[in-house]
Chains A and B, each alone.
Chain A
Amino acid sequence: MLGKTAGGLFWMFRYLERAENTARLLETGQRMALTRTKNSAEEWGSVLKTAGVLDGYHAKYDEISKDNAVDWVLRDADNPSSIKSVIKQARDNARLVRTALTHDVWSAVNATWMQIDEVMKRRVNERDLPATLELIRQQAALVRGATLGTMLRNDIFDFTRIGTFVERADNTGRILDVKYYVLLPTAFSVGSSLDNIQWESILRSVGAGGGYRMTHGEKTRPSDIAQFLILDQRMPRSLRFCCRKIQENLSYLKKDYGFAGPSCEASNALYEKYLDQKISDIFEFGLHEYIQDFLTDLGNLSCQIEIDYRFYE
């Protein structure tokens, strides 16, 4: 396989994953804003920060308003991480690697772009926002389904998975990075409805409300939430789950190719350093520092994968 193709697959699936996660983030943001009339600007600021697009937003707008924030995250062409931009990039990458994709996967991505492009021709008003976000999630599910159902389990598939889980780990990490203070023991003012809303919003933004209840019951406790999002091995968006998948797929490549670059070892090291421990140790170390270090190391791993498999010249 061409190095460029491996890179195209990696990024195609990173972008698709990002689109889905950003949609979920907007959903949560809107819900928070509905539940709390005060401080809506603060909530949207936190959405922008989590999506990593706050600086760009401020370059364009002075104040944070709901409408502008939604538009910026949803469809602004000046925002390279807007949902519309990333779906466009996913589709461009899919065109680039067209020969590596099945017909089903390609048409699912192409149809996704065509629909999103149509829906996002003009500003999406509040009334239409839920349906638009739902469309994004449905389309993401469609592409994933086509991928799992029709692609050979070979190196092509491995790169799609690595891209998916690097992005997902990064997204879950960012949510924790922005909201970590809500989960700190000092914030254990248990019982206040404000906290419950905050905690639930964290779970909601990774689509994990149901899974959490199945695992920990109906009581939301910050340390359980942290445990669930970081260390749970069955929760498909937890850091542990994502890192395990990255490790596995890199090891498949190693087996397939008969060699491995430093990234394979780095993925093992990442897992050992951050995920072979108890949640109490993480709190003791400092949740915020832990998350920030993790995101840095994850970024380095991603760069090493690019080098090892010759994505670029």
Chain B
Amino acid sequence: MSDYFDEMFNGDGSLRGPYEEIGRWFNAEDASRLRAKQREAEEVFRLTGITFNVYGKAEAEERLIPFDIVPRVISAREWQRLERGIEQRVRAINAFLHDIYHRQEIVRAGRVPAEMIAGNEAFLPQMLGVSPPGQVYTHIVGVDLVRTGPDEFFVLEDNARTPSGVSYMLENRETMLKMFPELFGATNVRNVSDYPRSLRRSLAACAPTCAEGEPTVAVLTPGIYNSAYYEHAFLADHMAVELVEGHDLRVVDGRVCMRTTKGYKPIDVLYRRVDDDFLDPLNFNPDSALGVPGILDVYRAGGITITNAPGTGIADDKAIYSYMPEIVEFYTGEKPLLQNVPTWRCSDPESLSYVLDNLSDLVVKEVHGSGGYGMLIGPTASKKEISAFRDKLKSRPANYIAQPTLSLSTVPIFARSGLAPRHVDLRPFVLVSPEGIKITPGGLTRVALKKGSLVVNSSQGGGTKDTWVLED
């Protein structure tokens, strides 16, 4: 048997508990019918326009993220554990953000070195002393989890800036419901379709005090060529709010307003899907055409709520990540319920020399990288790639962290030859507001479609699965 934990099958080939229904169903199904369904699903995705744009390719090249029809199932018990761990972590992240933009107690206490904060690109001095409504910084979080055994879950990344993928969670479920309604009759799968409504409520609950009546919410997108544009439009559509771009907005009388057919109308809560750097050409990148000149000044004066808050990137920075166990303990007074992956900070000379000696066994990531770009996966890299990476690492060690190659769990996909195990991760979506923390029972399961591959990113050939959290 393989060295990996398979979530569907035990080592002896029998089904694990949560997968019993799926297993029965699959065995009773005709493979050619399933294949036809799989094609049908892709056609629906294409027609609906559930595509992403690939950067670095010809403009407007839109691709489908491959969808696999075998659901990934999480038992009620497993989910309860995850939920508690995620909630604890997200609470700590918000406390951490509030602290480092105010008194920096954690630095004073010597738990996180001062240079990790002040010298960090993701740290925004403009946010010092700013208190967002309800002291919520990360209104939307997508925590990346991986599993290595029956009870071993690790947090791989805390996506606290502008996590994407939630539209896939929703569309994957819709697709499964349409294609295999009979499956849902036999199992108690928890519902995810409330997400857009919850998101709208959660955002509205963070409105600034100047908001009058029902708060006006809008989604800010970089535009139709952005890789996640589909999702931006999807969320705006399902929340019944406007989808705006920078050039739709301007500051009028101390408020950020959108240009409507009837004139300028103030926005109370802006769910931005634009990075900090591009948010405000007056305060950050002056070349940005995606943002709104002066929005940060309005924000600091309490005229608008920006979600997620500017400067949250410091909390999901990969160098800060290695301090998360300390951060969780410092702010919650509890031991972390979810484990961190052991991480070497290459800024530390001892760690660096260890990493350089063991490159072929490690995964090395850029501190500010995302989407699987610019990383080295030692075990699958060629000698040439490793030596090229070694040079990059030596010239800017502080730009990198390294982690052991994890034995990610597998879930079968429906491959040409039938069921075949592939590595997966999981991104549950978390909403934070003064009303509380809400975690949608489900999430985005990304799956590396290539046999043996550990890279699940959609930009690198990953696919997705519907994720089922079972009712007790």
Return chain B residues, CB-CB under 8 Å to A3. 248, 259-261
Per-position binary interface string of chain B over residues 256-293, scored 1 when its CB falls under 8 Å from any chain A CB and 0 otherwise = 00111111000000000000000000000000000000
Return chain A residues, CB-CB under 8 Å to B236. 99
Contact assessment for B233 and A310 in the assembled complex, using a CB-CB cutoff below 8 Å: no
Could you tell me which residues of chain B, from 49 to 97, have a CB within 8 Å of some CB in chain A? 49
Q: Which of B47, B233, B263 contacts A95 (CB 8 A)?
A: B233
> Beyond A3-B248, A3-B260, is A98–B47 a contact (Cβ under 8 Å)?
no
Q: Which of A4, A5, A98, A257 contacts B262 (CB 8 A)?
A: A257
Interface stretch (choices A56-64, A105-113, A239-247): A105-113
B160 touches A (CB below 8 Å): no
| Count, chain B residues at interface, CB 8 A | 21
- Minimum CB–CB distance from A85 to chain B (whole Å) comes to 13
Residue of B nearest to A91 (CB): B49
Residue of A nearest to B47 (CB): A107
Return chain B residues, CB-CB under 8 Å to A103. 48
B237 touches A (CB below 8 Å): yes
> Beyond A2-B242, A95-B233, A98-B233, is A155–B48 a contact (Cβ under 8 Å)?
no
B39 touches A (CB below 8 Å): no
> Beyond A2-B260, A4-B259, A257-B261, is A95–B244 a contact (Cβ under 8 Å)?
no
Contact assessment for B248 and A110 in the assembled complex, using a CB-CB cutoff below 8 Å: no
Q: Which of A2, A98, A99 contacts B258 (CB 8 A)?
A: A2
Per-position binary interface string of chain B over residues 369-386, scored 1 when its CB falls under 8 Å from any chain A CB and 0 otherwise = 000000000000000000
Return chain A residues, CB-CB under 8 Å to B243. 98-99
Contact assessment for A4 and B248 in the assembled complex, using a CB-CB cutoff below 8 Å: yes
Per-position binary interface string of chain A over residues 5-17, scored 1 when its CB falls under 8 Å from any chain B CB and 0 otherwise = 1100000000000
Contact assessment for B260 and A310 in the assembled complex, using a CB-CB cutoff below 8 Å: yes
Return chain B residues, CB-CB under 8 Å to A5. 242
Q: Which of B47, B224, B245, B259 contacts A310 (CB 8 A)?
A: B259
Q: Chain A interface secondary structure, helix, strand, loop or mixed? A: helix
Return chain A residues, CB-CB under 8 Å to B245. 4
- Minimum CB–CB distance from B246 to chain A (whole Å) comes to 10
Contact assessment for A114 and B46 in the assembled complex, using a CB-CB cutoff below 8 Å: yes
Return chain A residues, CB-CB under 8 Å to B242. 2, 5, 99
B111 touches A (CB below 8 Å): no
A1 touches B (CB below 8 Å): yes
A120 touches B (CB below 8 Å): no
Contact assessment for A6 and B261 in the assembled complex, using a CB-CB cutoff below 8 Å: yes
Q: Which of A92, A98, A110, A313 contacts B237 (CB 8 A)?
A: A98
Central interface residue in A98, A107, A110, A155, by most chain B CB within 10 Å = A98
Return chain A residues, CB-CB under 8 Å to B263. 310
> Beyond A2-B248, A4-B245, is A95–B260 a contact (Cβ under 8 Å)?
no
A5 to B260, CA, bound (A): 8
- Minimum CB–CB distance from B139 to chain A (whole Å) comes to 20
Return chain A residues, CB-CB under 8 Å to B48. 103, 106-107, 110
A135 touches B (CB below 8 Å): no
Contact assessment for B247 and A313 in the assembled complex, using a CB-CB cutoff below 8 Å: yes
Could you tell me which residues of chain A, from 1 to 49, have a CB within 8 Å of some CB in chain B? 1-6
A159 to B381, CA, bound (A): 55
Return chain A residues, CB-CB under 8 Å to B247. 4, 313
A309 touches B (CB below 8 Å): yes
Residue of B nearest to A258 (CB): B262
Contact assessment for B259 and A2 in the assembled complex, using a CB-CB cutoff below 8 Å: yes
A96 touches B (CB below 8 Å): yes
B9 touches A (CB below 8 Å): no
B229 touches A (CB below 8 Å): yes
- Minimum CB–CB distance from A188 to chain B (whole Å) comes to 49
Central interface residue in B236, B247, B259, by most chain A CB within 10 Å = B259
- Minimum CB–CB distance from B216 to chain A (whole Å) comes to 12
Residue of A nearest to B234 (CB): A98
19 A-B pairs whose Cβ atoms sit less than 8 Å apart in the complex: A1-B260, A1-B261, A2-B244, A2-B248, A2-B258, A2-B259, A3-B260, A92-B224, A98-B237, A98-B243, A99-B237, A99-B242, A106-B48, A106-B49, A111-B47, A114-B47, A310-B260, A310-B261, A310-B263
List 4 tightest A-B contacts by C-beta distance, closest first: A98-B233, A99-B237, A309-B261, A3-B259
Q: Hey, which bits of chain A sit against chain B, CB under 8 A?
A: 1-6, 92, 95-96, 98-99, 103, 106-107, 110-111, 114, 155, 257, 259, 309-310, 313
Sample of 4 more A-B contacts, CB < 8 Å, known A3-B260, A3-B261, A106-B48: A1-B260, A95-B229, A99-B242, A310-B259
